[in-house]
Each structure stands twice: as C-alpha cells, then as structure tokens.
Structure 1
Amino acid sequence: MTTIAAGDERLARTSALTRLTKRPEIGALLAAIVIFVFFAVTTDAFATLSGSATWLRSASTIGIMAVAVALLMIGGEFDLSAGAMTGFTGLVVGILTTEYGLNIWVAILVSLALALAVGFVNGLLVMRTGLPSFIVTLGTFFVLQGIDLAGTKALIGQVAIQGMRDVPFYDSAKAVFGSSAEIGRGTFYVSILWWVAVAAVATWVLLRTRIGNWIFAVGGAQVSARQVGVPVAKTKIGLFMTTAGCGWLVGMLLLFTTSTVQSNTGVGQEFIYIICAVVGGCLMTGGYGSAIGAAFGALIYGMANQGIVYAGWDNNWLRAFLGVMLLAAVLLNEWVRKRAEATR
C-alpha cells in the first residue's frame, strides 16, 4: 500500500490570502483602488457620475487594446503596430464610405479583413524569419503610418475624414460602436461594455480553454511547447490577428463615437498598451500574465489621466506617472512570479 508523505507540497493547505497574492493582477487591482480613493478624496468631480463616465471612456478603448496586447505578451511577443492599426481601420471605413459610396457595413467588414490580414502577415513573418516581433511590427507600424498619412492625403487631399454623419446607415453602425446612455449627469459610452466583454472573453480563454494553455506554453517555453505538440505557429499567428482585430474594434469605436478620424489617430498609443499590460501583471519575457490585470492597468491609466486634470496639475506629470508605474510594476511582477514559483 502506497502512502503519501506528510510533507507532500501538493497536499499543503494555503490560505486564501496566499493564493490571492500569487495572482498576477493583484498589484494592479490594489493600485487601482488606491488611485481611485486618492483622486476621489482630493478632487470634487472625480467620483461623480460625470467624472466617472469621462475616465471610464478613456480607459475603455485603451483597455481593449491592453487586453489584446497582454495576450500577445503572455505568448512571448510584442506588436508595435497596434496603435497605428486603430487609425488605419477607421480611415479605411471613412474613405470607402464618404469617397466611394460603399455600404457602411461592407466597408466595416473590409477594414476588419484588412486588419486581420496585417495581423496574419505580422505573425507569419515572425515565425518564418525568426526575427524579433519588436522589429517586424515596428516595420509594420511605419508602413501603416505612411499609408495613413500619405495614402489618405493622396486619395482625398486631406488627412482627416469628414462627413461620416451623412453616410447611409451611419446610425445603425453608431448604435453598435458609438452609442451612449445618460446616467445622472454622466454620459456612458458603449465602448465600456465592449471593454468588459473583451476582458471577460480573454480571461475565460486564458484560464478555461486549451488555447489558453497553448498561449502560456508558447510564451514560457516555446521549444518545449512544440515538442509536446502545441501548434506554436498557429497560436502566435492567432495572437497577432487577435491584436489586429482589437485594433479594428477600437478604430470603429473611435470613428463612430466622434464621427471623424485623423491620420495620426492611435500613433504613440502602443507603448501605453504595453505599460497597461505590464502593470496588469505581464512579464516582458512572456509566459506569465493576466488579461483582467491588463484591464485594471488601463483603468489605472484612465483614472490617472483624468484625475490629474481634475486636480489641476500639469498634464505632463502623466508621463512621469507612467514611467514610475512601469518600473514599479516590473519589480512587483518579478517578485510575485518568484514567490509563486517558490511555493509550488
């Protein structure tokens, strides 16, 4: 008869607090609570319905992309073209509808197909060439930025889309991507619901599906993952396509919320997405992280961005805050990871 050693770590009981501290998103959750309380106490408008609607709207579009970028980072890759993708997809819809009279829903599907194609090419190049995704997607970033600026100007003679409200069926698309509801004195946009939905689906995929296991595997140990039968190439290409698809979604949300899009829309946001993912518990080396944590990271950004305005501070302090937040998150995430590994 086989007996189990009393010291078997598999049978050791751990407290709820210990299990909680092992979660990669716990640091972002605590930071979000602290920042909310700080600005709620020090400013008058921050915690009101109108104030909350403002920073939630800012956090929602950042959050959708942060979640997608988090999945890609857990898979061991980066996408520096994610920001430019949001402007690119919005411009595609705007030009096809206002200049060429294409049905708005057909134009939306065309922009989605183009976004997914770019994501597929990014992933394929990374897997076929072995080049760092940082370099491949940096090249894609410049290509998209050039198309957004020079291509748009060549086609319509300007760098911004006008007249979207006059496009047939605009209202039906706005209902899906740009609608809002008045609650008290606050205007809450549908982008918040999209953000919650994306974070929920991504968390379910990571924690409850085989694909989630594959994502952690290819990011943590790609060679070993391939040896045990994980479809590494398909998983990583799928992650790049997911990031591009979320870029399309954010592009639609921005387009139909404001009824216009600029050629520089989204440029420079890619680093904010990465910061939010890191703050949410993702390691730069891959194989570890959380989708819901990235959503909390975006919430922190949204609250800090608007809280600084409400507090009357110089807006440039936001950059300093992001830098400190990134460094603190990297140190905290490494500590949490080592603690989790030491107690296994």
Structure 2
Amino acid sequence: MTATSPARTTPATPQRGSGPDERLARRGPLGRLLLRPELGALLGALLVFTFFSAVTGQFLSPLGAATWLDDSATLGIVAVAVALLMIGGEFDLSAGVMTASTALVTALLSVELGWNVWLALLVALAFALGVGALNGWLVMRTGLPSFIVTLGSFLALQGLNLGVTRAVTGSVQVSGMRSTPGFESAGYVFASTIDIGGTSFQISLVWWVVATVLASLVLMRTRGGNWIFAVGGSALSARQVGVPVERTKIVLFMTTAAAAWLVGTINILRFTTVQANQGVGLEFQYIIAAVIGGCLMTGGYGSAVGAAIGALIFGMARQGIVFAQWNSDWFMAFLGVMLLSAVLVNNTFRRRAERVRR
C-alpha cells in the first residue's frame, strides 16, 4: 500500500507581461519630485533665503539682490560644468586657477603685445581647451585618478601664472585693458550691465542662465547626456554597450576648462586687471556647489540645475553674512555644514528615488 503525500501548492509566479509594465506606471507629484537630484538643494536655498531675508533688510533690496546674484553667477557658470564632469565620474582641481590663467593670457596678449581683445580671447580659449583635453587624455591613458592629474595641472598652471607674469611685467599682475583695441565691444558682451527697475544687474547672470539651460538640455535631451550618466555609473559597462568613454570624458574636461575661460573673461573685462594668484581655492567651491546641488562623489547621478542652485546658496550665504555684518570666518563654517548636510540629504533622496523607480 503506497502512501500519497499531500499535494504542495506553490504561489503562482506572475508571468512577464501579465500585468502593466511598472515603467509605464503613472507617478504622483511627490514621486516625480523625489526623482529630482536638486530637491535637497532647492530646500536648502529656500531656507537660506528665508533666514537672511529675516536677519537683514539689505538682503532683499534691489542692490543687495544684484550683489548676491552676481556672486552666484560667476561661481555657478563653472559649477554647472563641474557638475557634468562629476556626473561623468571625474574631478577637475585646475578649474579655479584656470580662470586666472585664461585671464592672464588675454591680458598679456592685449596689453603687452597690442593684440585685439577678441583675438586674444580666442587664443585664451584655445589654451583652455588644450589643457582640458590634455587632462582628459592623461586620465584615460594613464588610468590615474583625475584628482591626481588635475592637481598636477593646478600646480603647473599656478607656477606658470606667477613665473610668466613676473618675467613679462616685472610684477604679479597685469592691468591696462581699457586702452586695448576691441575692449569696448568685448566688454559689452561679457562685462556689461542690464538695468532693471533702476538697478544694474551684471550680464554674468545671463551667461549663468544660458550655461545652466544648455547643460540641462544636454543631460536630459541628448544622447551625449545619456553617455555622461553611463560613464559616471560604470565606465566598463558603458564601453561594453558602445559608449565612447574616452571621448566623452575628454569633452567633459574641455567643457570645464571652457567654463573657466568664460569666468576669466568676465573678470578681466570687468575689473581690467588680473592677479597671477587669482582663482586658487575656487576649485573646491565649484565641487562643493555641485555636491550641494545633488551630485554624488561617486559619479553617475546629479543635475546641472542643482549645481546652479548650489552656487545660488553660496552667493546668498556669502553676501548675507556681509549684509548682517558678521565675521566672514563664519562663511567657512557654513560651507562645512552645508557640505556634510548635502551629502547626507543627497544619499537619502537617491535611495528614495531608487525605491520610487522600482
């Protein structure tokens, strides 16, 4: 006599295609909001804006707003480019000193050799793009971390700035741009002001908005944007599916250098003088602005708009501290707190975004 064991029932496994594809599911406003890397930066910007608006009345005055917006703009132009590079998985520590290098090239060619400013600007741009391409090529060919490669570029550029300027002018600065040919037209494009309601706003704000919009369109609407996210997430996997990893990263380094050239151009045409040691330390502010804006240090995640908002937080805090007549040393403490807070918030929002995508 054979005993029969009771039949086991196993839960039915849902078959592929038996239900609606979760990728096509409609998400609510909160779900869509959690997918945005710049959410934390936006909340931080609202907090900083509200705080300094309450602390000092000068912050909300037209002149006060023009001041902190201008401060944010010159920082934000490069921060947006640095954000693209960080999403691509790399860093550029030479971006800060590059703003001085390109300004010095323009000033030396215009003031000392009598070149037209526009021609000098083109040569300075070519110089920046060349250094950016070299940085990217060295990172890809040697396999060294971009931190090390661009740190070497930072030191080399800083030495060249000081050595060449002192050798040519006998000092560590170049001035006299106002008397150079082409200064007026170039100054109109890069260093003029826009009058709004009786208050003058620097045209750097326009360049900041243009840079942010272009970077966002590239990231979200083009194949190149997909490549940037792919190489930042995993260069090996990206290469296996046909993404031109080397070309993408070299272009990103060149983009950062070009943004630094733009800021250097704005500075030399606005102030008509440049110091050889300018820009040192700005590279960390660009990176911090990008991190505050939602970029991860590990790459593959971030937002150009977020980096612009991170720069806005910088400008509001730096000028807000001045308006409140506090010791400027508090700004460095603010940077430290914002950086740590941004890293924690970014990781939290990223984990939530991954759950929403599932």
- Larger mean Cα displacement after TM superposition, 279-288 or 17-26: 17-26
Q: Which runs of 5+ in 1 are unaligned?
A: none
Q: Deviations over 1:140-169 (max 9, x none)?
A: 000000011111101111111111111112
AA aligned to 1:162 is: S
* Post-superposition offset of 1:4: 4.1
Paired residues in the alignment total 343
Does structure 1 conserve the Cα–Cα contact (< 8 Å) formed by 2:35 and 2:356? no
Which residue pairs with 2:10 in the alignment?
none
Question: 1:192-271, aligned counterparts within 5 Å?
Answer: 192-271=205-284
In structure 2, what is the Cα distance between the partners aligned to 1:265 and 1:49? 29
Which residue pairs with 2:7 in the alignment?
none
Does structure 1 conserve the Cα–Cα contact (< 8 Å) formed by 2:31 and 2:356? no
Does structure 1 conserve the Cα–Cα contact (< 8 Å) formed by 2:102 and 2:128? yes
Q: Deviations over 1:88-132 (max 9, x none)?
A: 000001011111111211110000000000000000000000000
* Post-superposition offset of 1:10: 2.7
In structure 2, what is the Cα distance between the partners aligned to 1:11 and 1:141? 47
* Post-superposition offset of 1:18: 1.8
TM superposition score normalised by structure 1: 0.97
* Post-superposition offset of 1:41: 1.6
In structure 2, what is the Cα distance between the partners aligned to 1:189 and 1:4? 56
In structure 2, what is the Cα distance between the partners aligned to 1:275 and 1:169? 36
1:72 is matched with which residue: 57, 79, 85? 85
* Post-superposition offset of 1:187: 2.2
* Post-superposition offset of 1:7: 7.2
In structure 1, what is the Cα distance between the partners aligned to 2:210 and 2:333? 31
Q: Does 1:140 align with 2:150?
A: no
In structure 1, what is the Cα distance between the partners aligned to 2:341 and 2:61? 29
Which residue pairs with 2:33 in the alignment?
20
Which residue pairs with 1:302 in the alignment?
315
Does structure 1 conserve the Cα–Cα contact (< 8 Å) formed by 2:35 and 2:353? yes
In structure 2, what is the Cα distance between the partners aligned to 1:32 and 1:187? 23
Does structure 2 conserve the Cα–Cα contact (< 8 Å) formed by 1:180 and 1:190? yes
* Post-superposition offset of 1:338: 1.1
* Post-superposition offset of 1:184: 3.9
Aligned-residue identity in percent: 60
TM superposition score normalised by structure 2: 0.94
Question: 1:1-344, aligned counterparts within 5 Å?
Answer: 4-6=17-19, 8-184=21-197, 186-344=199-357
- Larger mean Cα displacement after TM superposition, 260-269 or 85-94: 260-269
Larger of the two Rg values belongs to structure = 2
In structure 1, what is the Cα distance between the partners aligned to 2:259 and 2:21? 44
Q: CA RMSD in A?
A: 1.3
AA aligned to 1:227 is: Q
Does structure 2 conserve the Cα–Cα contact (< 8 Å) formed by 1:51 and 1:186? no
Q: Which runs of 5+ in 2 are unaligned?
A: 1-14
In structure 1, what is the Cα distance between the partners aligned to 2:27 and 2:266? 43
* Post-superposition offset of 1:29: 1.0
In structure 2, what is the Cα distance between the partners aligned to 1:181 and 1:211? 34
* Post-superposition offset of 1:337: 1.1
Equivalent position SS for 2:275? coil
* Post-superposition offset of 1:34: 1.4
* Post-superposition offset of 1:136: 0.1
Equivalent position SS for 1:161? strand
Q: Deviations over 1:40-69 (max 9, x none)?
A: 121111011100000011000100010000
